[in-house]
Amino acid sequence: MKSIDLNVDIGEMAGYDIPLLAFASSANICCGAHAGSPEHSLETALICRKLGVQIGAHPGYPDREHFGRRSWSELPSDIRNNFKESLKTQLDHMVEFALYVKPHGALYNDCTQPCESAEILTEVLSESGLMLMGLPSTHHQTIARDAGVLFIREGFADRKYTDQGTLVSRKEPDAILTEPVEVCKQAERLAVEVDSLCLHGDTPGAVAFADQLFQHLQSAGFEIAPFRPGGR
């Protein structure tokens, strides 16, 4: 039986964290910059640890007004100038708990290509030694290689893809999949190509989607289990 990790983005005070953890094998916990707070991140991490859910750090641009979904090129200069220190601080909040890093929002998307954010992420990862979760066949893999850390291949159950294998911008009206059948079908297809599948925790209906996706993957012959290096 092939195993697949099912990860959710939580700790952003969207209100669905506890119900989502019933179906997740890994949780990407917001580090308190784009949403939430360091205190809430700690509380969430302790809950995950109690439930036996693997923990990843989910840092983003400290741009709460846009929920960390505004690209580097659009960010005010003060955020850009201080981002390296912000990223280090965010990971410091989670280093006791996290086994990997999954960038959030615009930071994730920006780093699919060479850019200043990618250089900063590479440097910080090399210092932390944490694995990187990201999109296969993009610059994310180069970041992990250059940082000397393991790479976790991620697929998105509830997002549309471009022909280049990146995510359709959230600025587009059809960027998010909203039909459960479509989500399950895409997840099953991706599950044979990646190590982990993501379901966003701030999407309306996320809990119902997680339940249906969990059941569908199990019925398709997949065991839901956290990613283990060398385990797949």
| Confidence tier at 231 by pLDDT (50, 70, 90) | low
Model confidence over 197-216: pLDDT tens digits? 998 777 777 888 899 999 99
Model confidence over 17-50: pLDDT tens digits? 999 999 999 999 999 999 999 999 999 999 999 9
Enter the tokens of residue 217.
């993957």
**pTM for the predicted model, two decimal places:** 0.94
* Sequence-ordered alpha helix ranges (H) in 129-205: 139-147, 180-191
Q: Topology of 2-224 in CATH?
A: TIM Barrel (3.20.20)
First to last CA, the chain: 11
Enter the tokens of residue 133.
């979760």
Residue 142 — φ and ψ, nearest 5°?
Answer: -65, -40
Q: Helix, strand, coil shares of the chain as percentages rounded to 5?
A: 40, 20, 40
Enter the tokens of residue 93.
């909040």
Contact yes or no for 146/113 (Cβ under 8 A): no
Q: Give 8's strand partners.
A: 27, 199
Tokens 């066949």, residue located: 137
Q: Which of 6, 55, 7, 9 is nearest to 36 (CA)?
A: 9
Model confidence over 73-128: pLDDT tens digits? 999 999 999 999 999 999 998 999 999 999 999 999 999 999 999 999 999 999 99
Q: Domain extents for the chain?
A: 2-224
